[in-house]
Chain A
Amino acid sequence: MVTTNRYFRAFVLTLGYGFLYVPIACLMLFSFNDSAMMTSWTGFSFRWYRELFNDQALLSAAGLSLQIAALTATAAVALGTWAAYVLVRMGRFRGSGLYVGMLCAPLAMPEVVLGISLLLMFVELGGLIGWPAGNGMFTIWVGHVTLCIAYVAVVVQARIRDLDRSLEEAALDLGATPLKVFFVITLPMIAPALMASWLLAFTLSLDDVVIASFLSGPGYTTLPLEVFSRVRLGLKPEINALATLFIVVVGLCVIAASKVQWRKEET
């Protein structure tokens, strides 16, 4: 039988997960610290949470970011699912190499490349046809959708590949049109993957600093831009409070989603 070294295993996993989680734990702990310094513990307090909820700049930035994230996720899921379906089901066609390349590029491509190239295009386009008139929500949305399509396609194509095709084939045999088969049979079967990729696109958009820096315009400060402009020069305890809330909400969502997923797999 295959055996593993127990001590080495414990060492590796403790070190690895410690590395991933200790910084998050410190951040959360010190969001309840009374002192403005993140260096010594002076007492338990909700002070920074109170300041956070009175911080108009952060709150309006959060509002804008949530809107952009929701719009981004919706568009990216539609386009990414479409692209994934084409790739898995239509096989090779002329230009499919370019297609896969363009689809996967944003997955790894440094975000600065995506940001500057889109900005330069919008500037040229603005000079050429006068549209878009200025940078703002629309331009950030385009950048985020372009980034997120790749992630959506990766998640969704894995699910489409695993599908049992006999249901779709049965529907086709019974005379349903391919379009109807897609909406009535395929779509419900890949719905969990769509949900997961929607959330993934949502969080990616909510977290992006780099693309938004290039594509944002005056009056359109997203939450990460606001946070980044505050923390690039040092520690800001109200950001600790924000991070704690963010991590708790996201963590609970991910755990809940995976619970649902496992229960499905078990039955």
Chain B
Amino acid sequence: MSTTTELVLLTFGCCGILLALTLFGEFLRQRHPADQPNPVLETYMTRIQSWWAMVLLLSLALLSGPTGVVVLFGFASFAALREFLTLTTKSQADHWSLALAFFVILPLQYVFVGMGWVGMFTVFIPVYGFLMLPMVSALRRDSTRFLIRVAETQWALMMTVFCLSHVPALVTLDLPGFEGREVLLIAFLALVVQFGDLLDFFFGRRIGKTRIAPEITPKTVEGMICGIGSAMLIGAMLHWLTPFGILGAMAMAGAASLTGMLGNIVFAAIKKDRGVKDWSHLIPGQGGFVDQLDSVIFAAPIFFHLARFIWGP
């Protein structure tokens, strides 16, 4: 099977699932008396609509090849960085370093990913950005809460640009016997992480009892175990998208899903601290881009490096 055929099949598969979910929602809407609003159903339908948009966008990007994926995630990074930096500590002295983050560092990181320059995109933000942005801020001569300001800016860049750019960076992986098919790994990662999260939510609601960090998140141990288990099963079913083999695909799916869920808890802690429920309002029914991407942000770099170390040359 060619890569394109596999991607088309996956897209049809996802659209099939979404179609079933949409019809299910419409069926409930028909049965529901029209004069009583049903907020749960409306939220469900808005979420499904957002999912349609996400599936179609990602499918189109994957089908158009590496450039499409780089551009899509470049814009996603921009939206995520905007949400993140809206909530961080900053002063006017950071104006230039923040402008550099948005308009120089972010585009360059994605250019390096697009070029496949692994030696550069893995150190650009952790080394060059890390060292240079505080210099720019310091030259503006305002020391008030300086360490907090530069640390939070760096954190924002690491999360929303560096980590997220590891999703399109999967295309640059050099895995022997898998040449030309790397783009499928993106589909694999996105599917196992997102389905793991959905099933964690579902099982957490159904059978969840033991809250894992009640002060921060409603996540439960039972939900997470079921979610990760489901992600591993889905990983095994989708092993034909990867060079990992069945067991390898299960292990990678489990690792990605686990880091994704723990990452979701990290971001829940940040939201709690800043007193917000969602990062923004930009994706109807789901909150912001960061709310949607938090698991993938944590899972992508781990997935990238595990694949490189174990299956690389």
Q: Is A bound to B?
A: no
Give chain B's interface residues, CB within 8 Å of chain A.
none
